[in-house]
Structure 1
Amino acid sequence: MENTKNNIDVSSPIDIGGKAAVKNRLYKSAMSEQLGDASNAPTKALPVLYETWARGGTGLLITGNVMIDRRALGEPFNVALEDDRDMEAFKEWARAGTLNGTQLWMQLNHPGKQIPKFLAAQPVAPSAIPLGYGLEKSFNPPRALTLREIRDIIERFAVSAALAKEAGFTGVQIHGAHGYLVSQFLSPRHNQRTDDWGGSPENRLRFVVEVYRAIRARVGKDFPVGIKLNSADFQKDGFSEEESMNVVRVLEKEGIDMVEISGGTYERPAMMGVARASTIAREAYFLDYAQKVRETVNLPLGVTGGFRSAPAMNGALKDGHTDMIGLARPLALYPDMPNKLMADPGFGVELKRPDTGVKAVNRTAMLDLTWYESQLALMGKGKAPDPNYNPWLTILHMVGQLGRNAFKKRRA
């Protein structure tokens, strides 16, 4: 969507592909809520949480990753959608998340080999290549997918998308970033197959194209389908910016409705907030890449990661470098931040890192992630988030949920 310098700001509406009228330029990027139950169905906390965000003014809410296969979970309390067994719970979630004229898209995901040891003895991946950089201690080596399994997973994406539509979600997003299965297929580091699904960039691209086509066949031409895509893997032998831009161009021709730009994998977690000084000054981690993509495609782009203030958001929109602004952690603490951003052009927030005072504990408990999950859990109980929430309470909650697995690595 071409965006010349003009009067666009965070309060401006946007039409996504003629399929989704979004009331403003702000969207909630996916965060792992960890609010599924023991059978990976949505709990009552999810509708409460998403109603809170809907009433806070966000134009588009994108859920945390919903898994397309209960046998392949990225984290223990992921929600999974593979059949209609929990349809009423999903419908309740959809009703709450679409209040106040809000769009609600379900993010669909398969983790591939990024499944912690305590959840999978042998995960699957495009190729039998283990995770590196020390992660092999926490993630078992995968086996290569068979051709039949590849086709089954593609069909599972399509089935889950159709079920999301039936439940009342207003769109879906394919998770093609952060080193999960779609990202693994795209990466020359992780996809070293010698058949039609690997090797050349064109073959590595085939999986995501087939996933998109299968979804589109199930949901119809008028239902929004987007993708979250890495700008790069930030590894020498990984998915590059040039390849990423080619993927965007191909998917635009296929009919994808929106691209959200992110980056990194568990091995190189750029999505965790690692940024250069120049990037921090602009607030957006992946805005430089978005500018390059904008020159080659004409579909709506969203950038998430780093935005904290209305001036930076409005500047990125006015310059035409992105069409939508993604927010994640700020919405975990300030669920009504969109209303405030639209009311005050100078509004902004600062986020401090949670700290127990013991670096080893912070690292082992993954506090940069789990502390924010605690905030989502508070809102799911109908309580207000607490910027001063004691990080030790997060650790106690983890132990209560996971027992001896509490300090086993779930994510990088």
Structure 2
Amino acid sequence: MTVESTLNPSRTFDHLFRPGAIAGLRLRNRVVKSPNTTATSNPDGTVSQRTVNHYRRIGEGGAGLVMLEYTYVDDDASKSIHGQTGMSRQDHVAGMGWLVDEVHSTGAAVGLQLVHAGRQRFLGTAPMKSASTSSWDVAEMAFGVVPTPMTTEEIRGVVRSFGEAAARAHMARFDIVEVHAGHGYMITNFLSPHTNDRTDEYGGSFENRARILLEIVDSIRAHVPRTFPLSVRLSVTDYEPDGIQIEETVALCRLLEQHGVDVIHASGGHHALQEWEASSWYMPRQLHRWGWEKIKPAVSIPVIASGSLVTPEIADEILASGSADFVSLGRAMLADPDWAVKARTGRVLEIVPCIRCNDGCLERGLDQKRSVGCTVNPQVAEEGRFPLGTAATPKRVAVAGGGPAGLRMAAALHDRGHEVVLFEPAELGGALLHARGSTVKQDLAGLLVHLVHEVRRRGIEVRRARAAAAALAGFDSVVVATGAPQRAFTGPIAATDRLLGPGDVGPRREQISGHVVVVGGGFQGCETALRLAELPGVTVTVLERGEALMRGPEVKYDVMVLPKRLREAGVELRTGREVVAIEPNGVLARPAGSGQDGELVRADWVVLALGREPAPVALQDELAETGVPFVTIGSAQAPGRVYDALHSAYFAARLL
């Protein structure tokens, strides 16, 4: 059985690609590109060439409706982030019209989402205006700015600004306009009791908390023709115990329909509970389904489903079941803008999957005040600028290593016209193989399937052998993608028959039972512990030398949530514990740095998850001696994450 056998590449998705309609707007299919911030606009909020290129590329990929990223409505406090698009002035209309024409040229419809930042103003500057002084502690610590409660006069100004911005969207010939009333921005600050402690007509009862949104909708309806479709995106709940309840959301949707809203775009969460908004690999897929399925029977207008839908199989089933009328994909179309056209033409295995890592888009992108990026798609926000192209002189190239970097490199070199031979003595996939069979790693397992499929469908020769300098002498160039070894345990080891590395957990999951001790509480140890906790009859303890888990160069969204997920899964987390020996029945651990005798922590299995150490350079030294040109990529160059493997492979391939 091959890794591709987990998917059916010949399946069709008839429900996804039926034409649809929102009010009088006809759409070629039911696929909506969800609004994702790109931060590619000019400082004054006008679109740049990069912004236009990005959305045209999304349209070319086959979506029925392309929703432009959240766009600020006034020049006071509604702007949320650097590089954000604006519709606060007439000056914005010309550039927006240019973008609309470019997207229309692809056959897709295009919409504009309007927003007020509220307490989620990430510029780090005042004014920050919200329903109340309730702040997000992370933003407050980072910027030192606390929200100022909006006055009634300011509320009226913002209501008017939404209507005027919608009128400008209509002038720019957008097909639909959307109000962002979810994800913790200003309107949500009013809707949620968690962030609204007002005592005036905009606080307290549900009717009062909903007032500002209904006034915004009425303002938009007064500024644009009734035939201009209007959407509202909202969180089915903010997932705060004292926050928005689904019963209120359903009632709100009924009111929105009565006030002239044509479609509900259902999502969930807010930034303070980021795992529910931009859900990571350890969260369920389609995680807000329970909510939109309560909304749909309560209204007669269409419902757009949103939230980690990821695959065509999931998206099509949602539509086939009647759960929703349209599906909205955000990060999945950053990962592969051709998601829709590949699904429509039966090329499912060619879809580059979003692995929900939040590394390229957030951690190394927006959070660093840069434009958006993507771990699996190096061309996001730089569409057309770094094509692979065709090599001027085709070469015979050996790729040493069949992990993620080697697989991506082999496919890219083939596409550039080189003759490629891939050397890998073991099963293709390298460090990704550990993801197979685990629910919490299903997104990474999908990447494994894709990368292996891309090598095989190109007919690239794979030699089941370890690359040695003598065997590489006949090649014009060599790519070293051999990965990095696991860091070794330096204490005495008295038993090895039940001693595992993180990569052994997947292949031996059927054998593992009883109590497992994971040595190491970095990302590698924590994600391994979460995979182990899925197994029936298994209890897990993590021992970490440091005083806290995950203190290396980790993705902050994992650091914020993964320890909580481990505790919820029943994993015992013990920090400040140094493992000094592996015994036949467990491990000896003592307080870190104490010099005390160790206590035995009993274990049926022990997993050493100590991270990776720099890769040996023997192969490079041998190649240098023989004069064969070579390049080193991925973890063979420096231990890193999937982002580093795929990006280093792509950009190195362009130079060969």
Distance across 2 between alignment mates of 1:47 and 1:243:
38
Does the 8 Å contact 2:76/2:127 carry over to 1?
no
Distance across 2 between alignment mates of 1:244 and 1:380:
42
Name which of 99, 111, 116 aligns with 1:110.
Answer: 116
1:81 aligns to 2:74 (yes or no): no
The list of structure 1 runs, each at least 4 consecutive aligned residues, that deviate by more than 6 angstroms after superposition, is: 360-364, 366-369, 391-394
Does the 8 Å contact 2:83/2:371 carry over to 1?
no
1:346 is displaced (CA, Å) by 5.3
Give, as a single letter, the amino acid of the residue that structure 2 aligns with 1:91: G
Name which of 90, 93, 100 aligns with 1:94.
Answer: 100
Give, as a single letter, the amino acid of the residue that structure 2 aligns with 1:242: E
Name which of 319, 326, 332 aligns with 1:330.
Answer: 332
Name which of 209, 212, 222 aligns with 1:207.
Answer: 212
Name which of 352, 355, 360 aligns with 1:352.
Answer: 355
The residue aligned with 2:294 is 292
Distance across 2 between alignment mates of 1:371 and 1:310:
20
SS at match of 1:209: helix
1:377 aligns to 2:381 (yes or no): yes
Distance across 2 between alignment mates of 1:301 and 1:50:
23
Q: 1:346 to 1:393 in 2, by over 3 A?
A: closer
Q: Which structure has more RCO (C-alpha within 8 Å, separation ≥ 6)?
A: 1
Distance across 2 between alignment mates of 1:355 and 1:106:
24
1:205 is displaced (CA, Å) by 0.5
TM-score normalised over the length of structure 2: 0.54
Give, as a single letter, the amino acid of the residue that structure 2 aligns with 1:352: I
Unmatched segments (≥5 aa) in structure 2: 1-12, 389-407, 409-446, 448-641, 649-656
Higher strand share: 2
SS at match of 1:71: coil
- Per-residue CA distance 1:322-356 (angstroms, 9 max, x = gap): 11111111211211111111122855553336698
Distance across 1 between alignment mates of 2:117 and 2:304:
22
The count of corresponding residues between Structure 1 and Structure 2 is 377
- Per-residue CA distance 1:242-270 (angstroms, 9 max, x = gap): 11111111111222111111111111121
Distance across 2 between alignment mates of 1:253 and 1:275:
38
The residue aligned with 1:71 is 76
The residue aligned with 1:188 is 193
Q: 1:158 to 1:368 in 2, by over 3 A?
A: closer
Name which of 338, 341, 346 aligns with 1:339.
Answer: 341
Distance across 1 between alignment mates of 2:202 and 2:47:
34
Does the 8 Å contact 1:125/1:144 carry over to 2?
yes
SS at match of 1:54: helix
1:87 is displaced (CA, Å) by 2.5
Distance across 2 between alignment mates of 1:368 and 1:288:
33
SS at match of 2:166: helix
Does the 8 Å contact 1:45/1:380 carry over to 2?
no
Q: 1:187 to 1:354 in 2, by over 3 A?
A: closer
Distance across 2 between alignment mates of 1:376 and 1:147:
41
Structure having the higher Rg: 2
Distance across 2 between alignment mates of 1:231 and 1:151:
26
The residue aligned with 2:142 is 138
SS at match of 1:100: coil
**Matching of residues 238-249 of structure 1 within 5 Å:** 238-249=243-254
Give, as a single letter, the amino acid of the residue that structure 2 aligns with 1:351: C
Does the 8 Å contact 1:260/1:303 carry over to 2?
yes
The residue aligned with 2:47 is 42
Distance across 2 between alignment mates of 1:369 and 1:49:
11
Does the 8 Å contact 2:233/2:267 carry over to 1?
yes
Distance across 2 between alignment mates of 1:131 and 1:151:
25
Distance across 1 between alignment mates of 2:270 and 2:61:
30
The residue aligned with 1:198 is 203
- Per-residue CA distance 1:69-101 (angstroms, 9 max, x = gap): 233321111111112113321111110122233
Give, as a single letter, the amino acid of the residue that structure 2 aligns with 1:148: E
| Larger deviation, residues 55-64 vs 246-255 | 246-255
Give, as a single letter, the amino acid of the residue that structure 2 aligns with 1:313: A
Distance across 2 between alignment mates of 1:220 and 1:93:
22
- Per-residue CA distance 1:35-88 (angstroms, 9 max, x = gap): 111222111112211111111110001111011123332111111111211332
Aligned Cα root-mean-square deviation (Å): 3.0
Name which of 215, 219, 243 aligns with 2:224.
Answer: 219
Does the 8 Å contact 1:232/1:238 carry over to 2?
yes
Name which of 32, 36, 39 aligns with 1:31.
Answer: 36
SS at match of 1:332: helix
- Per-residue CA distance 1:358-406 (angstroms, 9 max, x = gap): xx9899759996546974312274758x997649989xxxxxxxxxxxx
Does the 8 Å contact 1:354/1:391 carry over to 2?
no
TM-score normalised over the length of structure 1: 0.84
1:272 aligns to 2:275 (yes or no): no
| Larger deviation, residues 170-179 vs 237-246 | 237-246
Distance across 1 between alignment mates of 2:211 and 2:119:
19
Unmatched segments (≥5 aa) in structure 1: 1-6, 395-412
- Same amino acid, percent of matched pairs: 25
Q: 1:138 to 1:182 in 2, by over 3 A?
A: same
Q: 1:8 to 1:198 in 2, by over 3 A?
A: farther
Give, as a single letter, the amino acid of the residue that structure 2 aligns with 1:183: T
SS at match of 1:227: strand
SS at match of 1:65: strand
Q: 1:131 to 1:337 in 2, by over 3 A?
A: same
Does the 8 Å contact 2:39/2:371 carry over to 1?
no
SS at match of 1:63: strand
Does the 8 Å contact 2:56/2:102 carry over to 1?
yes
